[in-house]
Amino acid sequence: MSGHSTYQPQSPFMQWLERRLPIASFVYSSFIAYPTPRNLNYWWTFGGILTFMLGVQIVTGVVLAMHYTPNVDLAFNSVEGIMRDVNYGWLLRYIHANGASFFFLAVYIHIARGMYYGSYKEPREVLWILGVILFLLMVATGFMGYVLPWGQMSFWAATVITNLFSAFPGVGDPIVTWLWGGFAVGNPTLNRFYSLHYLLPFVIAGVVVLHLWALHVVGQNNPTGVDTKTEKDTVAFTPYATIKDAFFTGLFCILFAYFIFYIPNYLGHSDNYIPANPGQTPTHIVPEWYYLPFYAILRAIPNKLIGVCALGLAIVSLAFLPWLDTSRVRSANYRPMFRQCLFIFFIAVIGLGYLGSQEPTGGYVIAARILTIYYFGFIWVILPILGLVETTKPLPNSISESVLGKSAPASASGA
Amino acid sequence: MKFQRSILILAVAAALSSLGIYAASAQDADAPPRQTWSFHGPFGTYDPAQLQRGFKIYREVCSTCHSIKLLSFRNLAEPGGPGFTDAQASAIAATFQVTAGPNDEGQMFQRPGQISDYFPPPFANDQAARAALGGKLPPDMSVLAKARSYEAGFPYFVFDAFTMYQEDGPDYIHAILNGYENPPAGFVVPPGGQYNKYFPGGAIGMPKPLSDGQVEYTDGTPTTVDQYGRDVAAFLMWTAEPTLNARHRLGSKTLKMASREATHLRELAVRPAPLEIGIENCSSQTHSVRLVIRQRAANDPF
């Protein structure tokens, strides 16, 4: 870490502390003097936004937990009690429920940015894999949180998702019984989901620390994908990155607030305001929007076992990107073919999301199959081949050259 | 190039076909016509007079079969609701008999309701309701207005985010109350059911509950089923979302404050980074940014 300046403790107390626990110089070198590429655009602010959202979810979640009762007979009404009788309980709950959606929105943009600018490539493989682990943890946490209000969708989502494990021959049914803590989704299931929903965010926080550690070892990628070479290529994290992160977090919060205050139930499903009823299946069981692409992949495949494996593979595949992408150029700005294929990949994921929300019949299934084939085809076939056959555009010699526009490459990022 | 184009065509075709299919998918019930609601939009608030009329309908008609267990008499006098006074809410409570106890002899007993009580359900339990109503169980109405919706379909659900449409529940309730008709030719209504063109599947268990002139209004509001439907749906929206007024009010304040903050931060964020980087330069920039923030803090309550 070649900082622009080093921390010199001034006061006797800080000097005393520095010799025993150099926490002040650690913060200084990591969040103040830390060199960031000077050409970072606003797509780089989503890491900060995600950290902010994790904090929001933990703070609101801890307060909600003070008022929530994890019992099948009381859970639904305790959530309604929060909405009605807890001071600003409606605000806490709507922040937390919509917060999950916005957490996922931010993480999808963050992942897309990583893919577009090739942030997973050498030397950032571990950083990227930690990110995939974080995403998996988020998926698990979000799912268990959705079960807690114990509405119809909570109950039936828990039933459908846990039942996926029954696809595995032999061990499937014992696993499902073990997950449920019984022979159906019931009170033990709700209790353990509540326990894990409270635990996992702190596991996420721990992995975030590793993610940031790995980031600070290898340094940030940038829109050109060219490594930083001299100090001219970088600026100090504070004030440049902090102000930029704060500004975009502000914009993100405005959108977030719009949902919380004006359309708090837009992203939810009305059936979840019906108390859970094991005797009555909803006409149409759908997960939250952020799982829909994966749900579509699951249903696109007629065999349940293969479908479940494809669902898992859809996320796990991402961890292999550093080795599947054979190109040595990082940024899609200099890879015209990759750029097109990647945008189609993004469209395919959004298309899968829409198909996941619809009944799996007729043309929807066919469309979902085409998009599923593209999803895996892009990762496992197109990426390895593309790196070998693609003609890339000339890279700038350095970040500062690209900023000054000497050779005027396509640095006005199209993303 | 050919390879790219074929992929592009394939993806676009898949995307278009998936969107196009929606139009062909069968709708088994008519979409409820959208009504005008006083609580719609960023500045929407409940109309207390309408909530009082809706409450009258609930009390005189719906409450015969439907419970509203999460609603307390005290809620009637809370801000952002139908605007009854504490004395009025207590008087309403006293007209209900609630089960209390056990007393010193270990017996449950009936007493007039108090303002702190919850609305007593019309039936002791679900089984009693089914036994009395030919096997049908009327849903609890506490959060009914948020528990009912209908599929708006592809382009509309996107527009709805921008128009802040959150009234699908009340629209549906209003539609159901106005949807009783003679069944279309060939539609077989199952025994004990009624045809309702807005009910999924077309056959609803509830007999037509409201007719023109059934509930008396003292404020000159028309006594039509159309108006009854709107009033009771508004009342049910309030019971489902009693904090809506406060939410809309706080929303305006929050957005005003957040946009002001974002504007300030933007001014700082667009400041160009100095090209000559050195310790001195960097720290002086930091210093000036700090100064700007401090000045802002002095001028501005936020």
Chain A touched by B293 (CB under 8 Å): no
Question: Which of A250, A340, A351 minimises the CB distance to B18?
Answer: A351
> Can you give the pTM of this predicted structure?
0.90
Question: Which of A232, A239, A274 minimises the CB distance to B286?
Answer: A239
Contact in structure between A342 and B4 (CB atoms under 8 Å): no
Asked if B7 lies within 8 A of A234 by C-beta distance, the reply is no
Contact in structure between B136 and B205 (CB atoms under 8 Å): yes
Could you tell me the pLDDT band of residue B95, with boundaries at 50, 70 and 90? very high
Strands (E), chain B: 97-100, 109-112, 194-195, 203-204
- From A143, A136, A125, A265, select the one nearest A196 (Cα to Cα): A143
Q: Is the pLDDT of residue B46 over 50?
A: yes
- From A155, A252, A140, A249, select the one nearest A201 (Cα to Cα): A140
Task: Summarize pLDDT for B245-281 with one digit per residue, the tens.
Answer: 999 999 999 999 999 999 988 888 776 655 444 434 4
Could you tell me the pLDDT band of residue A232, with boundaries at 50, 70 and 90? confident
Q: What is the ipTM of this complex?
A: 0.91
Pairing of strands B109-112, B97-100: antiparallel
Main-chain dihedrals φ then ψ at residue B196, nearest 5 degrees: -140, 120
At residue A144, the pLDDT reads 97
At residue A2, the pLDDT reads 44
Closest Cα of chain A to B15: distance in Å?
A: 6
Asked if B70 lies within 8 A of A344 by C-beta distance, the reply is no
Task: Summarize pLDDT for A62-106 with one digit per residue, the tens.
Answer: 999 999 999 999 999 999 999 999 999 999 999 999 999 999 999
Domain residue extents for chain A:
30-404
Main-chain dihedrals φ then ψ at residue A211, nearest 5 degrees: -60, -45
Contacts of A366 in chain B (CB under 8 A): 17
Chain A touched by B125 (CB under 8 Å): no
Asked if B7 lies within 8 A of A239 by C-beta distance, the reply is no
Give the percent of chain B with pLDDT over 70: 80
Distance CA A192, CA A180 (A): 9
Question: Which of A250, A274, A371 minimises the CB distance to B147?
Answer: A274
- From B252, B183, B245, select the one nearest B38 (Cα to Cα): B245
Helix %, strand %, coil % of chain B (to 5):
50, 5, 45
Asked if A341 lies within 8 A of B250 by C-beta distance, the reply is no
Task: Summarize pLDDT for A331-346 with one digit per residue, the tens.
Answer: 999 999 999 999 999 9
Domain residue extents for chain B:
27-71+119-248, 250-299
Asked if B146 lies within 8 A of A83 by C-beta distance, the reply is no
Closest Cα of chain B to A323: distance in Å?
A: 22
Task: Summarize pLDDT for B275-296 with one digit per residue, the tens.
Answer: 444 434 444 444 444 444 444 4
Distance CA A392, CA A225 (A): 13
In this structure, how many other beta carbons lie within 10 angstroms of the beta carbon of residue A161?
A: 21
Contact in structure between B46 and B38 (CB atoms under 8 Å): yes
Chain A touched by B255 (CB under 8 Å): yes
Distance CA B240, CA B172 (A): 14
Question: Which of B4, B11, B143 minimises the CB distance to A337?
Answer: B4
Task: Summarize pLDDT for A185-231 with one digit per residue, the tens.
Answer: 999 999 999 999 999 999 999 999 999 999 999 999 999 999 999 98
Please give the CATH number for the structural domain made up of B27-71+119-248.
Answer: 1.10.760.10
Contacts of A244 in chain B (CB under 8 A): 269
Q: Is the pLDDT of residue B33 over 50?
A: yes
Closest Cα of chain B to A174: distance in Å?
A: 35
Asked if B169 lies within 8 A of A270 by C-beta distance, the reply is yes
Contacts of B259 in chain A (CB under 8 A): 254
In chain B, positions 172-191, which contact chain A (CB-CB < 8 Å)? none
Contact in structure between A111 and A46 (CB atoms under 8 Å): no
Six token digits for residue A151 = 């509405």
Cα→Cα distances B11→A174, A310, A350, A362, B5, Å:
41, 20, 11, 18, 10
Chain A touched by B167 (CB under 8 Å): no
Pairing of strands B97-100, A234-236: unpaired
**Average of pLDDT values for B104-122?**
96
**Average of pLDDT values for B29-34?**
90
Chain A touched by B103 (CB under 8 Å): no
CATH 1.20.1050.10 fits A30-404, yes or no: no
Contacts of B146 in chain A (CB under 8 A): 265, 270, 273
Count the alpha carbons within 13 Å of A319 in the hemisphere toward its beta carbon. 14
Task: Summarize pLDDT for A15-64 with one digit per residue, the tens.
Answer: 999 999 999 999 999 999 999 998 999 999 999 999 999 999 999 999 99
Contact in structure between A375 and A348 (CB atoms under 8 Å): yes
Could you tell me the pLDDT band of residue A321, with boundaries at 50, 70 and 90? very high
Contacts of A370 in chain B (CB under 8 A): 10, 14
Task: Summarize pLDDT for B174-202 with one digit per residue, the tens.
Answer: 999 999 999 999 999 998 899 999 999 99
Asked if B143 lies within 8 A of A257 by C-beta distance, the reply is no
Inter-chain contacts counted by CB atoms under 8 A, chains A and B:
159
CA torsion through residues A121, A126, A132, A134, sign: negative
